[in-house]
Structure 1
Amino acid sequence: MKKLRATTIGVDQGKVELFSEFAEGGEMWVGSGTRERRQYIPFSTSYRTPPTVHLSFALWDVDRSANLRADLMTENLGTDGFDMVFRTWADTRIARVHVAWMSIGEVASDDDWDL
């Protein structure tokens, strides 16, 4: 559990189209084996320490002829942003993915003193 000691807590959120590859015949749609897409997501304001980040699928367009295999995670989480990472493997075919995210953490306050 992350305990926040600040009187100022920041919540940031957004939604991104991580990829859309079915129209162009991209690797996520026609490829096989291990595949990955990543995108750097900057926060609108820096946090004092790395925040907690939650990811969820906002749109998931997949082919039903194969097993659905997916891994959605954050990497390189810092005070200014993070990498959103989506992975799939084997014969899974993914046409497009949109991901919603939310971050919660301590932000600087006008009452903070820098000594």
Structure 2
Amino acid sequence: MKLLLDENLSWRMIKQLTPFFLEVVHASELKIIQPADDISIWNYAKKNGFTIISKDDDFEKIVLLRKAPPKLIYLKTYNLDTKKLVDLILENKDKIIEFVNSNENDIFEIYSI
């Protein structure tokens, strides 16, 4: 499974998530005009088979309008630091894998308490 981290997430998450997912990249690394806008990120993810992870509700709107792929993992969290965000993603790893491999939903929401 290939994950594309939106610009609103730290690039430092790559190293922490890579052992658990096939490929993890950050939007700032993409070979597109930087800073990358949401549509460019969405198009890149679609073309290259990535699932987007974001805290940005704009991606929710894009996926609802354009449909998947790419799918969206939407982090509905308050101001969590990078470690807590990584922990939250890893706590939901099995559900994320199931979501990405399913044809049922386009958006998977993860909430923090």
User: In which range does the TM-score fall when normalised by the shorter chain?
Assistant: under 0.3
* Structure 1 length-normalised TM: 0.24
Larger radius of gyration: 1
Greater RCO (CA < 8 Å, at least 6 residues apart): 1
